[in-house]
Amino acid sequence: MEISNDNYKVTYHPTTATVTFQGILKLREVADYDPIMQLLSEVVAQSPETITLNLRGLQFLNSAGINMLSQFVMKMHEQKSSQLVVLGAPQFAWQTKSLRNLQRLMPGLKLEFRVGLQRDNEAVS
C-alpha cells in the first residue's frame, strides 16, 4: 500500500510491518493527513507483534504531521497489542526534537537514531 505525491511517499511493507516515510511532508491541516492515518490504522488492525515507522528518509514534517504522528502513538499506547519502533535520522533536526516527545506519549516506544537512509524494503533488525 502506498500514498504519494511529488513531494512525499508513505509505503507499507506487510512482510515486516514497516511503514516507510520519505520526502517532505507538509500538508495544511491534520485532516489532510487522514489517508496516512487510515493506512496506519489498517496496519494496527492487523495486530502485528511489532510495527515499525521508518522516518529516516523523511526530511521534513510540519506541525500538523507531527500532531498526526502523536495521535497515532497515543492510539498505539491505548491498544497495547503491538510494540512500536520508530526509526529516525539525526541529520534532520525536526526528528531529534519531535520524535523524543513521542516516547513521553508511549514510554514503551523504541526509538532508534542512525545516520543514513534505510532502503524501503530493508527489514529492521
For residue 78, CA distances in Å to 17, 44, 102 come to: 19, 12, 14
Q: Is pLDDT at 122 greater than 70 in this prediction?
A: no
What confidence score (pLDDT) does residue 78 get?
87
Q: Is pLDDT at 121 greater than 50 in this prediction?
A: no
Classified as helix, coil or strand, 74 is: helix
Residue extents of the structural domains in the chain? 2-113
Is CATH 3.50.50.60 the right assignment for the domain spanning 2-113?
A: no
pLDDT digits (tens, 9 = 90+) for 57-68: 999 999 999 999
For residue 86, CA distances in Å to 5, 79, 102, 115, 116 come to: 23, 17, 9, 14, 15
Give the predicted TM-score (pTM) of the model: 0.86
CA dist 48 and 46 (Å) reads 6
Classified as helix, coil or strand, 97 is: helix
